[in-house]
Every structure is written in structure tokens, then in C-alpha cells.
Amino acid sequence: MPPTSTPQFASPQGTPPQGTPPRTASLWAAYWRGVRQSLPFLLVIIPFGLLFGVAGTEAGFNLAEVMGFSILVIGGASQFTAVQLMTDNAPVIMVLLTSLAVNLRLAMYSAALSPHLGAAPVWQKALVSYFMVDQSYAMAAQDYEARPHQTLGEKLAYYAGACTPVCPQWYFSTWAGAVLGKAIPPAFALDFAVPITFLAMLAPMLRTPAHVAAALVSVGVALALAFLPSGLGLLIAAACAMMTGANVELWMQRRQA
């Protein structure tokens, strides 16, 4: 009799087990590529989540309320905005509208990924929407552009991998910050995580003159309109940046024609 084969398990590096069907192997590879490429974001997600947990408890919220923010909203910038407004006794409608304004960038992210993931079933698109954060979008957009011939399944697998290190750690870090609270020394300067996160996502995307022009315009307009309330200046800056990038792209195409 031939020897009985032993079960084959995946390696920590994400290599699929021996004998895995080709389609499953490609999904597995896409997933682990997303996991590996998103791991550096842990360096900023952990302090960012800790910072929100601390801020929430210092604002007077209990553990369930703080965790409700991070689990239901899963949007760091809007969570900080909402907590600040609620601490200032702002009207509920102002808290909701301002938080929605801060998160409007996620609508632009969704529109950008729609050509890649729009054919997915509704329940999968719902999960993509829920886990849509700056980090998962940035990694997915870069990967889909670098590998345009991936199947829908591979794109979804990569997206799931990109979310795996980020989103669960956001929940845990929020919990740790809420529980530890003032035990975290101020010398840790956890607030550094916010700008570092966006710089880490922005830098790899500045690959063409259109990208650079859009970034410069967005920075200039955002600084010029910093006096506007409720993040309105950021929304205007984003619109100006998109128009600038599109016009520069068209200009470059005309030059090459």
C-alpha cells in the first residue's frame, strides 16, 4: 500500500500547500501579498488606535462607547472629529454632517475602485465598503494598477489581505488605549501617527507629473482654506486636485499624440 499522505499546511510566508488547485493558489498568493505589503502600517495604526482610545476615555466615554466608535465607524479622522464636537456639546446634526464631510474621501476611494471590484456580489461589496480605510484603498489602488490582468477573485483576495493587519489591530489598539488610558506616558507622543500614516500612503503614489501636480495643488489649496470650518477646505482641495490631475494627464496625452 502507498504511504498515507500527511496534511499540508501553509507556511508563515504564505506559500500555498502542495497540491493546491491553481486558482486557489493564485487567490492565496494575492491574499498573502496584501498581508505582507500592509504590515508596515502597523507602525502607525497601533499608536493611532491607542491615541483614539485615550482621547475617547478622557472625553468621558465608557469602554463600550469608545469601541462602538471604532467598530461601527472604523474611520480615525472622523472619530476624532466626532469626539471633539461631542465634547464641545455641538448639536447632533452638526456632529453627523461634519463626520460625513470628513469621510467623503471614502466615496472617492470607492469610485476609484469600482472599475476593479464593481462586478463583485453585493455582500462582498458591502464588506469592501465596511473595511474601506485609507490604508486598504492605497494598497489596493497601487496593486490593481501594477497588475491590471488580475481576476476579480484575486483583487478581492488582495484587498482582504491588505485589511487583515490593519482593521483588527485598529480595534485592539482602541481597546488597549481605552483600558490603559493615562498609563501611556505623554513622552510617547502618539499623535505622530496621523501625519506619518498619510505620508506613508502618499509618497509611493507620486509616480507621474499628474500625481505630483495633484498633490501640490491639494496641499496649497488645503493650506489656503484652512480657516474654513468642518473640513470644508479639505473637500475643496480634493476636488481641485482631481481636476488638476485630470488636466495634466490630458495635456500629457496630447503631447504624446
CA–CA dist 188, 199 (Å, integer): 20
Confidence (pLDDT) at 29: 92
> Where is average pLDDT lowest: 18-27, 213-222, 224-233?
18-27
Q: With contact defined as beta carbons under 8 Å apart, do 98 and 70 qualify?
A: no
Higher pLDDT residue, 28 or 76? 28
Whether 130 shows a pLDDT value over 80: the answer reads yes
When pLDDT is cut at 50, 70 and 90, the band that residue 22 belongs to is low
Confidence (pLDDT) at 139: 92
Whether 77 shows a pLDDT value over 60: the answer reads yes
pLDDT single digits (tens) 26-47: 899 999 999 999 998 888 888 8
Confidence (pLDDT) at 8: 43
**CA proximity to 221, closest of 211, 230, 231, 207:** 231
Confidence (pLDDT) at 197: 54
When pLDDT is cut at 50, 70 and 90, the band that residue 176 belongs to is very high
Confidence (pLDDT) at 230: 60
Burial of 86-121, coded b for 16+ CB within 10 Å and e otherwise, reads beeeeeeeebeebbebbbebbeebbeebeebbeebe
Whether 190 shows a pLDDT value over 50: the answer reads yes
Whether 195 shows a pLDDT value over 50: the answer reads yes
Confidence (pLDDT) at 193: 55
Confidence (pLDDT) at 39: 93
Tell me the average pLDDT across 59-88. 86
CA–CA dist 180, 14 (Å, integer): 34
How far is residue 171 CA from its own chain's centroid? 14
pLDDT single digits (tens) 86-111: 877 878 887 887 788 778 778 888 98
Higher pLDDT residue, 24 or 158? 158
Q: With contact defined as beta carbons under 8 Å apart, do 172 and 199 qualify?
A: no
Q: With contact defined as beta carbons under 8 Å apart, do 222 and 237 qualify?
A: yes
Confidence (pLDDT) at 44: 81
Domain boundaries along the sequence of the chain:
24-205, 207-257
Confidence (pLDDT) at 14: 54
